[in-house]
């Protein structure tokens, strides 16, 4: 019954507000001491993915997956890479299609259930022969990707993958989309839509006639965006079909390695269905922790060499999962 009853996270003064927790790291956090080396790899369908390595010569690797419209260089990604380096792990932070600074080479891009790209990254990392132990760490959309990948693989998961950690995960995409459509999240929604429109316009230049952004200003939420773009570009019938098939919650019972899911109770992006209490209570592998505070991918902390609580928590869980 791995439902973590008590979380150790206690926010600093002034950080009990979930919006401060959500916005402050994105605007003000600076992470030093991480030097990525970029590698571009090909995908089976003829596209490319950009991988950023922090290689220190360790035999353990943490693979990091970012959130919606993020990249390998976001502060939460670099912060986790630095924590891994300090605790005896190499780090591999990869950017999804179209998120590494230039458009990808296919009409499709990325989505919450695109586990085939994570599989490509995992297989490439294992092919180096350098790593006997691998952990997957994801944030928001990337957390859904990690947990869905684990659940889909089940017993067929590569033996090198021995643990996973996921923060601020919209385990039920429909629930998360409904929450994001609420008036209190209007500023976040508008920001996401602005960035997504830029992606669409880049695709329009690369693939004239394949899609357009006429009337995009009338799109107000993920339902409208996913119906118009995500679903048809990636083989789904509708936004609801995409949300149902891409949500990790339906495959959580199949996760076969220790996996920690941390969703703050005050996360403004998550609906009630994003807290899989029953699945955690019935599992001996899925650990669900629900701190009272933390916002969305926040978990701000000061001191301790610049590490956030989420980074310390991830390192502690990985050490325990690997029997250290």
Q: pLDDT tens digits for 255-278? A: 999 999 999 999 999 999 999 999
Q: What is the pLDDT of residue 297?
A: 97
Q: Tens digits of per-residue pLDDT, 83-93?
A: 999 999 999 99
What's the residue count for the chain? 324
* Per-residue burial over 193-221, b = 16 or more CB atoms within 10 Å of its CB, e = otherwise: beebbebbeebeeeeeeebebeebeebeb
Q: Tens digits of per-residue pLDDT, 98-109?
A: 999 999 999 999
Question: With 0-12 CB in 10 A as exposed, 13-18 as middle and 19+ as buried, what is 172?
Answer: buried
The mean per-residue pLDDT over the stretch 75-96 comes to 98
* pLDDT band, very low/low/confident/very high, at 17 (cuts 50, 70, 90): very high
Query: In the chain, how many H helices and how many E strands?
Result: 11, 9
Q: What is the pLDDT of residue 105?
A: 93
Pairwise CA distance, residues 267 & 297, whole Å: 8
Pairwise CA distance, residues 97 & 141, whole Å: 14
Beta strand ranges found along 168-311 (DSSP E): 259-262, 286-289
Beta strands 48-54 and 37-42: pairing type? antiparallel
Q: What is the pLDDT of residue 175?
A: 98
The mean per-residue pLDDT over the stretch 41-64 comes to 97
Q: What is the DSSP letter of 90?
A: E
Pairwise CA distance, residues 141 & 276, whole Å: 16
Q: Which residues are catalytic?
A: 140, 267, 296
Q: What is the DSSP letter of 308?
A: -
Treating both helix axes as pointing N-terminal to C-terminal, what angle do 141-153 and 115-127 enclose, rounded to 10 degrees? 70
3-state SS, residue 61: strand
| pLDDT surpasses 70 at 73 | yes
User: Which residues lie below 8 Å from residue 140, measured CB to CB, with a gap of 6+?
Assistant: 66, 67, 68, 70, 167, 168, 169, 170, 269, 296, 297
Pairwise CA distance, residues 257 & 36, whole Å: 28
Q: What is the pLDDT of residue 249?
A: 98
Q: What pTM value is reported for the model? A: 0.96
Q: Tens digits of per-residue pLDDT, 203-245?
A: 999 999 888 999 999 999 999 999 999 999 999 999 999 999 9
* Percent of the chain at pLDDT exceeding 90: 94
- Are 261 and 166 in contact by the 8 Å Cβ rule? The answer is yes
- List the chain domain ranges: 3-179+251-321
Q: What is the pLDDT of residue 304?
A: 85
Domain 3-179+251-321 in CATH 3.40.50.1820? The answer is yes
Q: Residue 13: how many CB atoms within 10 A of its CB? A: 5
The mean per-residue pLDDT over the stretch 149-162 comes to 96
Q: What is the pLDDT of residue 143?
A: 98
Q: What is the pLDDT of residue 209?
A: 87
Tokens found for residue 1 = 């019954």
Q: What is the pLDDT of residue 6?
A: 84
Q: What is the pLDDT of residue 71?
A: 97
* pLDDT band, very low/low/confident/very high, at 96 (cuts 50, 70, 90): very high
């Amino acid at each position: 019954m791995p439902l973590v009853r008590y979380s150790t996270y206690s926010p600093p003064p002034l950080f009990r507000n979930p919006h401060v927790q959500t916005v402050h790291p994105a605007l003000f956090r600076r992470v030093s001491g991480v030097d990525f080396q970029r590698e571009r790899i090909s995908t089976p369908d003829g596209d490319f993915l950009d991988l950023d390595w922090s290689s220190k010569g360790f035999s353990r690797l943490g693979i990091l997956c970012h959130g919606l419209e993020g990249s390998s260089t976001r502060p939460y990604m670099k912060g986790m890479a630095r924590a891994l380096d300090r605790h005896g792990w190499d780090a591999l932070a990869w950017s999804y299609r179209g998120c590494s600074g230039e458009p990808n080479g296919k009409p499709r891009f990325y989505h919450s259930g695109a586990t085939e790209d994570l599989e490509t990254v995992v297989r490439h990392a294992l092919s180096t022969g350098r790593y006997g132990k691998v952990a997957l760490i994801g944030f928001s959309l990337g957390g859904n990707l990690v947990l869905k990948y684990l659940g889909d693989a089940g017993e067929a998961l590569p033996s090198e993958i021995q643990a996973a950690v996921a923060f601020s995960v919209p385990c039920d995409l429909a629930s998360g989309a409904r929450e994001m459509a609420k008036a209190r999240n209007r500023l976040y929604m508008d920001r996401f839509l602005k960035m997504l429109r830029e992606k669409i316009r880049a695709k329009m230049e690369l693939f004239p006639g394949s899609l357009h952004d006429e009337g995009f200003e009338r799109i107000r939420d993920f339902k409208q965006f996913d119906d118009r773009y995500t679903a048809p570009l990636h083989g789904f019938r509708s936004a609801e079909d995409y949300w149902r098939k891409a949500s990790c919650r339906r495959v959580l019972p199949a996760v076969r390695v220790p996996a920690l899911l941390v969703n703050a109770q005050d996360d403004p992006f998550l609906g009630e269905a994003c807290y899989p209490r029953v699945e955690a209570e019935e599992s001996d592998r899925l650990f669900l922790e629900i701190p009272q505070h933390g916002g969305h991918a926040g978990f701000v902390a000061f001191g301790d060499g610049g590490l956030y609580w989420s980074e310390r928590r991830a390192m502690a869980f990985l050490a325990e999962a690997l029997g250290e």
